[in-house]
Amino acid sequence: MEIARKRICDIHFCMDTEDFDWNLIKSFAAVAETGSLSAAARKTGISQPTVGRHVSQLEDRLHITLFERVPRGMVLTQAGSGLLDHARRITTDAAAFSLAATGQSREIAGTVRITASEIVAHFLLPDIVAALRSAEPRLHIEIVSSNTVQNLLTRDADIAIRMIKPTQSELIARKVNDVAMGAYAAPSYLERHGEPGKPEELLDHTIIGYDRNDLLIRGFAEMGFTVTRDQFAVRTDDQVLNWRLTEAGAGIGFGQVFAARQSAKVERVLPALDIARLPMWVAAHRELRTSARIRFAFDAVADALAGLPLSEDPVRQA
């Protein structure tokens, strides 16, 4: 095979790979696995129009149709299905190559991609990123604000802040804190509806819940109450919007104590309510620890989060 000019061939197509943009295959695999351009954009961290353009360019390059465009998303054609395993292998190999290359870096400069939940990203990361950039101005920080668990193994992110313990053996993780939780409501809501005096009275109030996330349902179960999502009159999986709805007086919401400390628009409800703290972990792929910039960012973020009073609950300590 000539080095200067390569071709990929199988039963479906034969394609010149010289000057080929391999991001097209990454986008193709993401759309195939998620079923839509918008979901693929969230998974890859690039814009939806760019993902769509990548798919179209790949179809033009291969002279085949990879997806059927249907009202509910994107469905693989027979030709597209035949190429999916190839695409997965290519993206896996590319991620491994990127990890190995990143691990060789000894310079604290370049891009570090951090993913965190929406609440953590909005309420905690700004100060941490500002300090990080002040310490090392050559670092470029990308933040993925999402409640979706980003895949560190495929380089969807370099560093992840998670509320669950990572279990993959390829990851290194450090538990940095425990996050205290509480129930809150705006004074305007309490003036209209009164304040619950005991936990079971929460069920007589408007609860701001989640849509598809079952965290709150599990929380009520731990308190001995069986509820369904239909009992949450206001629902959203956007954590920041959930909190803003609480501040606006739409109902009683549950949130991190550290977020409530930053708001003058809410009051604590049922302060003695015993809500389990959420563990906070910082994780990265173990190969990235040999990268100076990732190691520096990892330690800086972990140390900063460990030093914050996230587990402190003034009500419980009173």
Domains of the chain: 7-103 (1.10.10.10), 110-173+278-308 (3.40.190.10), 181-269 (3.40.190.10)
How would you write the pLDDT of the chain (318 residues) with one tens digit per residue? 333 334 444 434 445 545 567 788 888 988 998 999 988 888 877 888 999 999 999 988 888 899 988 888 899 999 888 888 888 887 777 777 666 666 555 678 889 999 999 999 999 999 999 999 999 999 999 999 987 766 676 777 899 999 988 888 788 899 999 999 999 999 999 999 999 999 999 999 999 999 999 999 999 998 899 999 999 999 999 999 999 999 999 999 999 999 999 999 999 999 999 898 999 999 998 877 678 888 999 999 999 999 999 998 877 665
Spell out a b/e string for 11-43, using b for 16 or more CB atoms within 10 Å of the CB, else e. eeeeeeeeeeeebbbbbbbbbbebbbbebbbbb
- Spatial neighbors of 245 by CB under 8 A, at least 6 apart, are 208, 234, 236, 251, 253
The answer to whether 263 and 269 have CB atoms below 8 angstroms apart is: no
Q: DSSP characters for 204-244?
A: GS-BEE-SS--HHHHHHHHTT----GGG-SEE-S-HHHHHH
Q: How far apart are the first and last CA of the chain?
A: 75
